[in-house]
Structure 1
Amino acid sequence: MPLFWRVCLINGAVFLLGTLALALSPATVSAQPLLSELVVLLLGLTVIVLLNGALLRTVLRPLDRLTAVTGQIDLRHPGLRLDEDGSGPARPLVRGFNAMLERLELERSTSTARALRAQEAERQRIAQELHDEVGQSLTAVLLGLRHAMDSAPEPVRAELDELRGTTRASLEEVRRIAQRLRPGDLTDLGLISALAGLARATSARNGPRVRRRLPTSVPDLPSATELVIYRVAQEALTNVVRHARAESVDLGLTLSDGRLVLRVVDDGVGIPRGAMGAGIQGMLERARMVGGVLDVRAREDRRGGSGTEVRLSLPLPRRAEP
């Protein structure tokens, strides 16, 4: 029944009860009401108002909860629902609201996953073009400079040698960019080798010292799960280099209770409470794509130091459980 008719029936029932009470009771009202009669009328009116308010509160209370929950909805943190128990006549409305939230979260999750897959495909394409087009062009320039140096006079040879060094550095930078866009080690050598290479590359770029705590092997994982682990580790280490001002970082991967846990812990300045940049949001979305849970928090050790911990927990596929 629509809510409007529910309210009308409640009010009608209350008025009917009041009319029956007045008609069947011995109470009367004089042409000029006495004080005792006014007291009885006031008490009756009070009872009617209180009864009507109690009945309407039962019907409309879920609407107050619905209004409060609406202001708390954040599709980046799914799972918020209204409790259908105790909703009374408004239960269909609460059930419909929860179903709407589920559809919105599903659509957002689907669209986000589609966007991330498109992003990975675009990264692959750009990396391939950097390797095939820019990389080969710079290699040809290096060969041309080498031949030019053989026949160039001594004053010009020094300038060509300096230009050759600049070109070689540019070629190395192009290769590093292509590697970050498309982790070839992940495909060719596996997850553990890719994480180890990522740690070495981070330390080599004048970054903090990265201590690795990686197993010798992990169970077979879907390629999407391996890519998520690698991207989360990559983003976490990038954030450490850019923002943390840390001296050392611990990169660990462990198996525990049927879950695979990635931890990136630094000893830097820590993360502000409630911080949610694009990098962290991207890690959260990637984790949800494969059913994982990401936790980013500030940490304090026993010596009073600070830092940030990024923890990614992923369920192991049944076929991959040891």
Structure 2
Amino acid sequence: MNREKAVSGLQIAMYMLNLAAVCLVAGIMSFSLKAIVRSMDALSFLEMIQARPWRPETILLTAVCAYLFLVFLSTLLQQREERPGALRTWLLAGETAACVAATAAMGMNYDGLVLLVVADLIRGQKGSRQKLILGIAVVALYTVLNYNLAGRWLGMVSWDAFLSCYQSSAQIWLRGLRSLITSVNLAMFILYMTILIQGEYRERARIQLLYEQLESANEQLRNYAMEAERNAETRERNRLAREIHDTLGHALTGIVAGIDACITMLDYSPEATRSQLEKVGTVARQGITDVRRSVSKLRPDALEKLPLEEALRTMLENMASASGVNISFENQVRPLKFHEDEEEAVYRVIQEASTNAIRHGHAARISICIAKKDQWLTVQVKDNGCGCEKVEKGFGLKHMEERLKLLGGKLSWDGSRTGFVIRAEIPIRWGEGYSS
């Protein structure tokens, strides 16, 4: 904002200074011609110069009007700075023509207006190639409008010729005033360009910084995406491992226990063995169905078809039938209906704990109890197996903990006494359908 104010202030100052220069040069030229005519010295003046000058009124009027038109076009150019196009090109061409007209009206005795045109040209240019072309055009324009370079060849009347009708002291004062205006105008132009260049450098530095920040953000996003992908892969592997363990492990445990029972009964009760094998087949088929649904990220098949309590009773009845273990189930919470992830966690914890009791504890009796305490649902699975004082967490316990942790729950166990006890606590999001 400060830079824009400084640029605008300098531009206004240059407009005012050059207006003073145009009025001074064109005014002196017009006044000098009138003074020469009044003094009856026109013949000697015409003999001294190479070409006939313009009429006094035409010089001042043309110079001032052309300059004011130049300022008007320059103001329009500032409004089009951010929208380059054909109109801007035409405005620049009109400004250049106005500069040439005003300078020609002053007999090329003041070329400071070129700096105004150069400032507008440079301010709207982007890219090194465009600026090179601009530089060539500026040099050509400055050459054409400079009296010492082209004015004599074009037959223009010099500034000194117009001052010849004044006394020496007045000539010195007028030459000094014009030189002062030219020097100040050049100094303001240099300052103007310095501010523009500094602003451009700052803008480039800001863009570079933004680019680096963007690259850094992109790199972080790429790292985050890779990390998220790795985490997703890990979670998916864990999920598949957990689901397959819960389903296939449960089914295989029931099948192994059932086959062991069949081997025992085969010699003395073929019919009972046949019945037991049918139950083992049912457990195997159910296990296959659960494996397929787990891989497809769906809930256990029993939970898809039945309410939680019925699904638990069906699963436990099948397990008891296949393994020959006495399993009791007590539910103190009715209705036993929660969110899907909570129901699946309860189902899997009971399934895994019962399977472990049969597989590792060699239990003959398992008791399961579901109760409510405050906002917590407690699930306890107790067996009369061999127990274990020092428990090393295996795949099953780890995944039970992971399931409960996702819901904000916790898992505890005790195998120091007879049998083994697993206790799960889950902060249930009790729905409207629940009533104590």
Q: TM-score range by the shorter chain?
A: 0.3 to 0.5
When you count helix as a share of all residues, which structure comes out higher? 2
Higher-strand-fraction structure: 1
The alignment's TM-score, normalised by the length of structure 2, stands at: 0.35
TM-score (norm 1): 0.46
